[in-house]
Chain A
C-alpha cells in the first residue's frame, strides 16, 4: 500500500475525522491509502482525493501538497519533509484563520509571444519573454473594481500571470468569505461583459508554495 499525501496540518484533530493522520515532525500529514499498483492518474481516485481535500478544509486551514506525492511510511515522509517543517509550522500558525480565494480573468489584449528567431542572443529572447509575460493584464476598469472591492477584504494578495490570463490570489479571513463573495457578485453586475471566475475557499496553496513566490 502507498499513502497519497494530501496536506500538512497543525493539529491531529484537524485531520482525524476526515482522513488518516501521519506524523511529520510535530505536524501531521493527511494521507489517503491506496494499493501500490493503483495509478495516481486514476480519475475516480482524483475525484475522491479532491473531495477529501474539501472536507479537510472545512475542519481547519492546512497547507496543500500538490497531487502526486505518495510515501510508504512515516519515516519516508519525515525524511523528505525534514527541512520544511519549521517553515510550514510558522505558516500554519500565521494563517490558521485564513483561506485562499482566487479570481481568474482573461487578459485584455494578450501580447504576442516573442519568436526566438528574431533575437540574436538567448538572453535578449528571455528578457523579451519576461517583458511579454509581465505585460499581460486585465481590463483597467475591471482591475480598479478588484482593487476597490475585493483586495481590501484580503489580508494578502498576489497577481499571477500566464500568456493569456491573469489570476488574483487572495488570502482571506474565514469570517470575511461571505463579504468577498458578495463583492464578487457586485463586480459581476458592474462588469457584465467581463468573464471571470471567483473560486474557493482553497487551502494554503499559492501562499505556501515557494515556487509561486
Chain B
C-alpha cells in the first residue's frame, strides 16, 4: 500500500475511533441545525479537534 494511502487509512481509522459509536455515561446534546444549544456531560469523552469544533464542546 502506498505511504499516502496508508496514512489516509490510519487517519480514517482514528477518526472513526474518536468520532463514531455510541456514547455511554450520560451525554446529551440538544441541537438545531449545526448548533448545539445544550450539552450535558456526565463523563469525559475524548474527541478529536474536528469533532469538538463541529459540536462546540469545551
Contacts and interface: CB of A to CB of B under 8 A. Distances in A.
Interface of A: 5, 7-8, 40-41, 46-47, 49-50, 53-54, 63-69, 80-81, 84, 88, 126-127, 129-134, 162-163, 197, 199, 202-203, 205-206, 208-211
A210 B18 CA distance: 16
B29 A211 contact: yes
Chain B residues touching A, range: 20 to 34
A203 B33 contact: no
Contacts of B18: 46, 66-68
A133 B33 contact: yes
B33 A129 contact: yes
29 contacts: A5-B24, A40-B46, A46-B14, A46-B17, A46-B18, A53-B17, A64-B22, A66-B22, A67-B17, A67-B18, A67-B46, A69-B25, A69-B43, A80-B25, A84-B24, A127-B32, A127-B33, A132-B33, A133-B33, A162-B54, A199-B9, A203-B21, A205-B20, A205-B21, A206-B20, A208-B21, A208-B22, A209-B20, A209-B22
